[in-house]
A and B are shown apart, each in its own frame.
Chain A
Amino acid sequence: MDIAGQKSSLSWAVNISVVLLVGLWLFPTVGLLVSSFRTSDQISTSGWWKAMFPSEQNLTLRTDAPELQVQEGNLYIIEGRLFAPDKDAVISEWGVSSREIDSYTAGDTAPLKKGGEVTLQADGSYRMENTEPFTGTRGTRIFVTATTPPEFTLRNYQNVLFDPSNSEGMAKAFINTLTVTIPATIIPIVIAAFAAYALAWMEFPGRALLIAIIVGLLVVPLQLALIPLLKLHNEIGIGKGYLGAWLAHTGFGLPLAIYLLRNYMVGLPRDIIENARVDGATEFQIFTKIILPLSFPALASFAIFQFLWTWNDLLVALVFLIDSTGDTTVMTKQIVELLGTRGGNWEILATSAFVSIAVPLMVFFAMQKYLVRGLLAGSVK
């Protein structure tokens, strides 16, 4: 404990520094999250940090088409509102030409190029009058500078996730990612659990050496495995596809799985296992009935690691999974592609990225306890 006298001033400093640190770490992610709920117009005209406040925007809007005009006496009139009925916006300046967008203020009347005149109020309602009938098929363009209240939309998510005609959508990639992730998480656990039990509780020559080898393999870079394994997969006929990706993830995940599980199993009480042996239980029974249930925390830790790693992986998917048809593309790859082709369309990018980030974040917050426990057990102390 700190000593009493220093507490107040120091603890203020500590609290403020932590608030700053957390803010700094959170800020970038919040930016993406907020952006994913804004329209592309909003994103490109103001920073996301201004999204909470009313913003001033330059907009190009259209009046109603001439076919809606009504005749009052000898005047032809079109009346309406530039904004959607539910939108509150306040117009400050406006114009009828793209070169002079600020010639008039709200309430002014401006002559139209094609004849007649238009009066625009601050709330966006307008009245066009002409002695001749208005012609043409489309309404007149009006350029306004308007202050609009903060506004958020779910449309981006609808486009990215539920629009079947959107070929850049994330729905298919989401399913594909899930398809890669689940077998690639479960299978290594099963294989590793048995091996970890043998390494923890069975006596045999070469055990120490094997453990050392597994610790060594923990850090072997994935990069080394790419070409040899792709070659191997092609030779034995797996080629590129889910099977190859599952196998690769299994192989790459095993060292950590065995290491974590062995470290945990070795700490289980010796008495339980020896008593069971004395009572005549076979090793297989000891493993399934005693060790596995007791090792649940370690199994959960590894499962989270492997899930996060396979869900977030790009390299293994690029090399072992995604073929030239692109049918098996995963979300990370899809996002990289969008970064290339839609680099400026932040509403698409932000939403797609958030779709892929959301699932690991949920897993993270739900199971953080196990993740921390696994990290602590997994780092070679």
Chain B
Amino acid sequence: MHPALQGILTILVGVGGCVGYFYLSNQFLDKVLCPPRGKNAGRNINRANIIRPWLFLLPALLALGTYLAYPVYETLRLSLTERSTLPDGSTAYAWAGLDNYRQMLNEPKFWEALRNNAMWLAVVPALATGFGLLAAQLTDRLKWGNIAKSLIFMPMAISFVGAAVIFKLVYDMRPIEQEQIGILNALYLNFGGEAPIAWLTVPFWNNFFLMAVLVWIQTGFAMVILSAALRGIPEETIEAAIVDGANPFQVFFKIKVPQIKGTIMVVWTTITIVVLKVFDIVFAMTNGQWETQVLANYMYDKLFRSNDWGVGSASAMVIMLLVTPILVWNVRNARREMK
């Protein structure tokens, strides 16, 4: 079957199935199981009200359970087992305790990935939030501010892979006797550089050239959120500060920033999570060579190149572990807000 046809069929089956399920199950509840008439009408209405939310929730809970909750458990389990292929071709899983973790901790590539991830975590959220705040503040009262914002926001729509191609062109290197077609080398030579540099192959510094890609993408996100927060600041506080003789920088740093601290934290943590999961950029641009490995790509390597599910799962658990504090913080915030 042609995939497009298959796609249309899936939409029909998927959407039809969902709507059909919701409609029929509600009908069943109202007409058959707990009809709101007869001598038990009152009791039936109450019962229907208890059951109905779960009818509405069931497909979502099933999908969430299968696709997110179960994998957390299963990954943990796999990280503690050793997978092997038996002579008859079947696979067996044997309890391995912490062996996978031990093996992982002994690999220099893992430490390299961890170190690089730490650098990404230190640099990308800070720069993206900083640039975002700058862009939000600068465009705030500008006539063409909305156009400017929309152009800075645009990279959000571009895939990590697309961005990787865009920046590969920026970092491109040609031999010195040829014309440079990468803007970075062209500028470098123009400002006194002696020989063009293959930026992505210079250990340590190449990490920053990869980070630039993510900063470029995420700044728009930070700007949009922070710009809304800046708009939400009560005018009186700013006017009062100006009347008291504060200069624009004092107004920004002493009046505005403290009032949107909460939002800055949200932006920061959201970008932090993106950073922890960053995969495509490294995969497409260097594939972890020249000491640019990161955890997500290390994990992909282990799972699908060396076919080592144990160590792969162990490194996935490391990513989960790093995400957990933010997860807890988010849940606590959400609960506080609901009260």
Interface residues of A (CB under 8 A from B): 1-3, 6, 10, 14-15, 17-18, 21-22, 25-29, 31-32, 35, 43-49, 175-176, 178-180, 182-183, 186-187, 190-192, 194-195, 197-199, 202-204, 207-208, 210-212, 214-229, 231-232, 242-243, 246-248, 250-252, 254-255, 258, 282-284, 287, 308, 311-315, 318-319, 328, 332, 335-336, 339, 343, 346, 349-350, 353, 356-357, 360-361, 363-365, 368, 371-372, 375-376, 379-381
Classify chain B's interface size: 35 or more
Given contacts A2-B141, A220-B327, contact A353 B162 (CB under 8 A): yes
Contacts A25-B154, A195-B56 known; list 19 others, CB within 8 Å: A10-B248, A21-B134, A21-B138, A28-B166, A32-B169, A207-B53, A210-B57, A217-B64, A221-B323, A254-B68, A314-B161, A315-B279, A332-B159, A332-B280, A350-B165, A357-B157, A375-B221, A376-B224, A381-B337
Instruction: Report the Cα distance A219→B142, complex, angstroms.
Output: 35
Instruction: Tell yes or no: B191 within 8 A of A by CB.
Output: no
Per-position 1/0 for B157-182, Cβ under 8 A of A: 11111101111111010100011111
Is the beta-carbon distance between B59 and A22 smaller than 8 angstroms?
no
Is the beta-carbon distance between A25 and B225 smaller than 8 angstroms?
no
Partner of B59, one of A191, A282, A336: A191
Instruction: Tell yes or no: B211 within 8 A of A by CB.
Output: no
Given contacts A190-B19, A379-B225, contact A198 B64 (CB under 8 A): no
Instruction: Tell yes or no: B135 within 8 A of A by CB.
Output: yes
Neighbouring B residues of A49 by C-beta, 8 Å: 183, 186
Partner of A212, one of B63, B303, B335: B335
Nearest B-chain residue to A312, judged by Cβ: B159
Is the beta-carbon distance between A376 and B225 smaller than 8 angstroms?
yes
Instruction: Report the Cα distance A303→B270, complex, angstroms.
Output: 20
Neighbouring A residues of B320 by C-beta, 8 Å: 220-221, 224
Given contacts A219-B326, A221-B277, contact A353 B23 (CB under 8 A): no
- The segment from B6-14, B96-104, B107-115 that touches chain A is B6-14
Is the beta-carbon distance between B169 and A356 smaller than 8 angstroms?
no
Partner of B64, one of A197, A204, A214, A379: A214
Nearest B-chain residue to A210, judged by Cβ: B57
Instruction: Report the Cα distance A218→B333, complex, angstroms.
Output: 13
Partner of B52, one of A2, A26, A202, A319: A202
Question: Within the complex, what minimum Cβ distance (angstroms) separates A136 from chain B?
Answer: 32
Neighbouring A residues of B237 by C-beta, 8 Å: none
Neighbouring B residues of A361 by C-beta, 8 Å: 154, 157-158
Interface centre among B49, B158, B219, B285 (most CB of A within 10 A): B158
Nearest A-chain residue to B7, judged by Cβ: A179
Given contacts A18-B148, A223-B296, A250-B63, contact A190 B14 (CB under 8 A): yes
Neighbouring A residues of B323 by C-beta, 8 Å: 219-221
Instruction: Report the Cα distance A243→B273, complex, angstroms.
Output: 28
Given contacts A25-B219, A45-B179, A336-B284, contact A18 B142 (CB under 8 A): yes
Question: Within the complex, what minimum Cβ distance (angstroms) separates B43 from chain A?
Answer: 17
- Give 27 CB contacts A-B under 8 Å: A14-B138, A29-B155, A43-B181, A48-B181, A179-B7, A182-B7, A183-B10, A186-B15, A190-B15, A194-B60, A202-B53, A221-B316, A224-B75, A225-B67, A225-B71, A227-B309, A227-B312, A227-B313, A229-B67, A242-B3, A251-B66, A283-B26, A328-B3, A349-B169, A353-B162, A360-B157, A380-B337
Given contacts A219-B273, A219-B323, contact A22 B152 (CB under 8 A): yes
Instruction: Report the Cα distance A254→B54, complex, angstroms.
Output: 16
Is the beta-carbon distance between A217 and B280 smaller than 8 angstroms?
no
Is the beta-carbon distance between A224 and B161 smaller than 8 angstroms?
no
Question: Within the complex, what minimum Cβ distance (angstroms) separates A204 from chain B?
Answer: 4
Is the beta-carbon distance between B158 and A360 smaller than 8 angstroms?
yes
The list of the 8 closest CB pairs from A to B, nearest first, reads A251-B67, A312-B159, A195-B60, A228-B74, A364-B157, A198-B56, A225-B71, A353-B165
Partner of B69, one of A43, A217, A339, A363: A217
Partner of B338, one of A17, A208, A221, A371: A208
Instruction: Tell yes or no: B78 within 8 A of A by CB.
Output: yes
Nearest A-chain residue to B295, judged by Cβ: A223
Instruction: Tell yes or no: B331 within 8 A of A by CB.
Output: yes
Instruction: Tell yes or no: B150 within 8 A of A by CB.
Output: yes
Neighbouring B residues of A282 by C-beta, 8 Å: 26, 30
Is the beta-carbon distance between B167 and A28 smaller than 8 angstroms?
yes
Neighbouring A residues of B11 by C-beta, 8 Å: 182-183, 186-187
Q: Which of B75-133 contact A (CB under 8 A)?
A: 75, 78, 131
Instruction: Tell yes or no: B199 within 8 A of A by CB.
Output: no
Instruction: Report the Cα distance A224→B320, complex, angstroms.
Output: 8
Instruction: Report the Cα distance A371→B149, complex, angstroms.
Output: 13
Given contacts A220-B323, A339-B164, contact A381 B152 (CB under 8 A): no
Neighbouring A residues of B230 by C-beta, 8 Å: none
Given contacts A191-B18, A227-B313, A364-B156, contact A232 B66 (CB under 8 A): yes
Nearest A-chain residue to B262, judged by Cβ: A381
Is the beta-carbon distance between B64 and A255 smaller than 8 angstroms?
yes
Partner of B159, one of A242, A318, A328, A357: A357
Question: Within the complex, what minimum Cβ distance (angstroms) separates A234 from chain B?
Answer: 11
Is the beta-carbon distance between A246 and B3 smaller than 8 angstroms?
no
Nearest A-chain residue to B151, judged by Cβ: A22
Partner of B157, one of A194, A339, A363: A363
Instruction: Tell yes or no: B188 within 8 A of A by CB.
Output: no
Question: Within the complex, what minimum Cβ distance (angstroms) separates B244 from chain A?
Answer: 12
Nearest A-chain residue to B27, judged by Cβ: A284
Instruction: Tell yes or no: B240 within 8 A of A by CB.
Output: no
Nearest B-chain residue to A33, judged by Cβ: B166
Neighbouring B residues of A232 by C-beta, 8 Å: 66, 70
Is the beta-carbon distance between A215 and B56 smaller than 8 angstroms?
no
